[in-house]
Amino acid sequence: MPREVGAGDAVRWEDLDRVVHEPARLVILVQLAFVEEADFLYLLRQTGLTKGNLSSHLTKLQEAGYVRIAKDFVGRVPRTRLSLTPGGRTAYARYRTRLAQLVADPPT
């Protein structure tokens, strides 16, 4: 977990959340940030990841407390529903803010 950055503190590259910063996980978070909930097949199509790769990244995001995974059935067909947790929304917003700060004023 990155350090807390207070007002007036300079943001460093190390302050980016590494769980969020990984490109595939960032794409997942971006997709989930704009919906209340998505199913696994939707994310599979939107991200272009393989089933195994998507599943692996979702597990890491779930372990970090950023994504909620719910499994149920529609008739006899299994369905996996995914959503950002409040912590996931906060982590994504914090990442965006810190990245924007780094791009605008890179550390020397």
* Location of structure tokens 């595939």: 24
Q: Is residue 2 part of a domain?
A: no
DSSP letter string, 13-78: GGGS-HHHHSHHHHHHHHHHHTSS-EEHHHHHHHH---HHHHHHHHHHHHHTTSEEEEEEEETTEE
63-97 pLDDT per residue, tens: 999 999 999 999 999 999 999 999 999 999 999 99
pLDDT over 90 (residue 3): no
The contacts of residue 87 (CB under 8 Å, 6+ apart) are: 65, 66
Q: Is residue 82 part of a domain?
A: yes
Confidence of residue 37 (pLDDT cuts 50, 70, 90): very high
Question: How many structural domains compose the chain?
Answer: 1
Which CATH number characterizes residue 86's domain? 1.10.10.10
Distance CA 75, CA 17 (A): 39
How much is the pLDDT for 105? 86
Confidence of residue 106 (pLDDT cuts 50, 70, 90): confident
Q: What is the mean pLDDT of the chain?
A: 92
